[in-house]
Amino acid sequence: MKRILLVIAVVALYILHQDFWFWRRGHLVFGFLPIGLFYQGCFSIAASLLMWLLVKQAWPVHLEQEIEHRESEEDQRH
């Protein structure tokens, strides 16, 4: 279930990256920041948080353990 939710989050973020709804808007956020730039800033923060979540929840730890095991075997041989 966790993996499906992570995949859905990645797909949702990919779809949200196509911000065509702000292309023709001249609205300013906080009176000085164009809405498209504000959206991209928020998107960058969301992407960073999703990447952090992916590393915490879906990192293939077994691959690291395999490499550490190989390195310890090589150290024992020398």
- Please provide the DSSP assignment of 5-74 as one string: HHHHHHHHHHHHH--GGGTT---EETTTEEHHHHHHHHHHHHHHHHHHHHHHHH--HHHHHHHHHHHHHH
Q: What is the pTM of this model?
A: 0.74
Q: Band the pLDDT of 32: cuts 50, 70, 90.
A: very high
How far is it, in rounded angstroms, from Cα 10 to Cα 2?
13
Looking at this protein, which amino acid is placed at residue 60? P
pLDDT at 39: 93
pLDDT at 78: 65
Q: Judge whether residue 41 has pLDDT over 90.
A: yes
Average pLDDT of the segment spanning 7-19: 93
